[in-house]
Amino acid sequence: MSDPNLQDFIDLSAVLTGLSAKLLAPSPDPIKLPPLFFATAQQGMGAAAFSNLLGLYASIKGQPPAQIASAVLGSSDAQIAQGARSIMKLWLLGSWYQPYNQGTAHKGDTRVVSDQAYKESWAWKIAQSHPMGYSQYHFGYWAEQPPTLKQFTGVDAKEGQQP
């Protein structure tokens, strides 16, 4: 990515979602969700609030992830705090949840950003599965143990959870 803002957006998304930047924005990338999500969040939050969010991130990006998340999600600027949550939902569900009234959009409006956004959304991989309506697996897979959470997301499952 040549655009530093885009890279910050990806890195911030990684911090917030717990999914690494390499997973959210693989290279090479024929699907190109990161720029689409960037534009979606920018439009949804409004350019100013979005810029403030990225600005906040840029100023603290050296800190540990937990601190960054806390600063962003606990920001006293409600638009930053709510907008960031909508960005998390965007990656996990492929839908934009309008965080507050902005332009003609109302708080609570929801839309699926694109068929690819749904198909690539991460909540299902976090469930060690696939989005309903999009499976790449083979007959009978459901009768067998799925790959581990670590294989899907790079994150270890909670202690004592599963093999």
Partner 1 sequence: MSTLHTQNIETADVIVVGAGMAGSVMAYQLGLAGLKVLVLESGPAIPPNRSEYLERFYTAVFKSPESPYPPEQTEQTPAKQFAPRATIQDLITAGSDDPDKVQKSYLVQKGPHLFASTYERVGGGTMWHWMGTALRLLPNDFRMRTAYNVGVDWPISYDDLQTAYCRAEQEIGVSADVASQTYLGVTFPQGYQYSMHGIPPSLVDQGLGKAINGTQYLGITLNVRQTPAGRNSQNDNGRRVCAGNTSCTPICPIQAKYDATVTMAKALDTGNVRILYQAVASQVQVDANGVTGIDFIQYQNNGTHQNGTAQGKRYVIAAHAIETPKLLLNSIGPHSPKGVANSSGQVGQALADHSVYLAWGLMPEGKPLFPFRGPLSSSGIEDMRDGPFRSQRAAWRIEIGNEGWNWSVNDPYTSVCDFIDGTNHGGANPNNQALSGVALVQQLNSVLTRQFRLGFLIEQVEKDPDKALCRVERAEGFTDGLGLTRPQITYELSDYTKEGFKQARLAATHIITKLMGATELTDLNPELKPGSQTVFKYDGQNYAFFGAGHLMGTYRMGSDRTKSVVNKDQRSWDHPNLFLVGDGVFPTTGTANPTLTITALTFQAADVVASDLLKRTVQVQANQAWQGTGVQVNGHNWQLAVCTGGQWTANPGTGMVGAAGNSRLTAKPGYTLPGQAEGALIGRIGNSGAPFLVGNQAQLPRGQQGELQLCINDDLTGRYGAGLSDNRGSLSVEVRFGTV
Partner 2 sequence: MKITLKRAACLGASFTSALAMADAAGPPVLSPAIPFDVTANPPFTLDNLQHDFDVLSWQTFVALNWPAKADGSADTSVKIGAPGQTVWESWKESYAIFLPQGQKPLAWDQHTPPPAACQGKGDLPVLQQMGKVAGVLDEFIQPFKTGPLVDQDGTYTRNAIMVNQPMFNDIVNNGLYSQEGQQAFFTKADNRIAFSCGTKETQQVGAIMVKSAWKVLGGNDNPQDFHAVDALVYTPGNTDPNTGAVIPESCSAQKVGLVGLHIVHKTKDAPQWVWSTFEHVRNVPEKTTPMNERKGPYLFYDAQASDRPINEPPPRPWDPSKKATPSQIVREIPLTVATHQLNAQWQGALKGTVWANYQLISTQWPTAPADDCQLPSPTNPLGTPAPSFLANATLETYNQGTTPQASSSCMECHNNATTRVTQSPRTSFADFTFLLERAQSTGAKE
Query: Which one of the spans 24-32, 48-56, 57-65, 79-87 is the region binding partner 2 (CB under 8 A)?
Result: 24-32
Q: Which does 147 bind (CB under 5 to 8 A by kind): partner 1, partner 2, none?
A: partner 2
Nearest distance in Å: CB 94, partner 1: 9
**Residue among 132, 144, 158, 160 that touches partner 2 (CB under 8 A):** 144
Report the distance separating Cα 96 and Cα 32, nearest Å. Answer: 17
Q: Does 85 bind partner 2 (CB under 8 A)?
A: no
**Contacts of 10 by beta carbon, 8 Å cutoff, 6+ apart:** 1, 21, 24, 25, 34
Indicate which of partner 2, partner 1, none lies near residue 63 (CB less than 5 to 8 Å, by partner kind).
Answer: none
**Coil, strand or helix at 96:** strand
Q: How far is the CB of 2 from partner 1 (least distance, A)?
A: 27
